[in-house]
Structure 1
């Protein structure tokens, strides 16, 4: 039981390490602030009083909204690129971890199992970030690579050892 818990723990630490490493050395774009110069959404009046906003304030509010919309559009495009890049970095990290786990399978069984679990979690993280990239072809490629790596790992880990026993 303790070996199982340790394996899970190592796997979770690996994916956390990869995710925090990416965030530390490749920070994401900063979302624009939605600033208001005045509380434009003050109550209009409960008993039919005149609106509290002047035409000048409404014009200023509309200009601020348009500026924010432009900034947010730029941020959205930057975020798609960032998610694509993070997906690629995490995918490379997952492949390296999974390859290392296969290399150390004989010498460090429990650690290698934790590395496999961490690599699979990192691969899942990569695929999830790839879905936020906003590009259908990229999503397909990331999922195809994930599928290929998973099938190869399953073959090497589970099927190949059974063939050598027989």
Structure 2
């Protein structure tokens, strides 16, 4: 049975899968407990649209009576009002959701940094999950937010990323801690060394065979 080594391919796959699963968990959790307030408005717009289609009945506008045309205008005005309202509440929801996602991403990345030495594979998965969640939150505000909200969200993401990167890569090396060769790199180098030795042995055998033939 294959033994899983720290830093090996199975460990990398597990860390990547853990990052994706953590991102999905955070996203589903936030949407479950912090749903968009625009959903009820969108349901009302769909109901009004269905009512409009039933009233129209596939007939051209000229074939409608005066009362039916007045009802059509009332329905369309209501849809327009609901659409503007849904857009406004969606922007507010996107801002708050983006901040929540960035907060969870910061938490996951902080835990990954604090436990990097004890739980290498898990910390890598948490770090990836934090990065993916951060991208999710920033992408959400870029798609629906205003210019100021986008700037604030990107600024927060940049500050958090720089801070985590400093703690993870700069401070640990600057503190006099020995930087050990990763297990994956050592395995690759050992494999290359073995291949070089095999090629040298083959070349030596060819050289001896040519000398014996002469």
TM-score interval w.r.t. the shorter chain? 0.7 to 0.9
Could you tell me the TM-score, scaled by structure 1's length?
A: 0.87
Aligned length: 161
Asked if residue 105 in structure 1 is aligned to residue 116 in structure 2, the reply is yes
| Deviation of the 1:39 alpha carbon | 4.7
Superposed, which structure 2 residues align to 1:26-65 within 5 Å? 26-29=34-37, 30=39, 31=42, 32-34=44-46, 35=48, 36-37=51-52, 38-40=54-56, 42-44=58-60, 51-65=62-76
In structure 2, runs of 5+ residues without a counterpart are: 1-8, 180-214
Distance 2:110 2:161 in 1: 12
Contact 2:94 / 2:140 at 8 angstroms: preserved in 1?
Answer: yes
Distance 1:141 1:101 in 2: 24
SS in structure 2 of the partner of residue 27 of structure 1: coil
Higher helix fraction (1 or 2): 2
SS in structure 1 of the partner of residue 160 of structure 2: helix
In structure 1, runs of 5+ residues without a counterpart are: 45-49
Could you tell me the TM-score, scaled by structure 2's length?
A: 0.69
Superposed, which structure 2 residues align to 1:4-23 within 5 Å? 4-23=12-31
| Deviation of the 1:53 alpha carbon | 2.0
Contact 2:94 / 2:144 at 8 angstroms: preserved in 1?
Answer: yes
Provide, for residues 44-88 of structure 1, a one-character-per-residue CA deviation record: whole Å limited to 9, x for no partner: 4xxxxx943223222211110001111121111111111111011
User: Counterpart of 2:133?
Assistant: 122
RMSD: 2.0
Provide, for residues 70-111 of structure 1, a one-character-per-residue CA deviation record: whole Å limited to 9, x for no partner: 112111111111111101111111111111111110100000
Distance 2:112 2:143 in 1: 28
SS in structure 2 of the partner of residue 90 of structure 1: helix
| Deviation of the 1:149 alpha carbon | 1.7
SS in structure 2 of the partner of residue 42 of structure 1: coil
Asked if residue 80 in structure 1 is aligned to residue 91 in structure 2, the reply is yes
Distance 2:10 2:93 in 1: 39
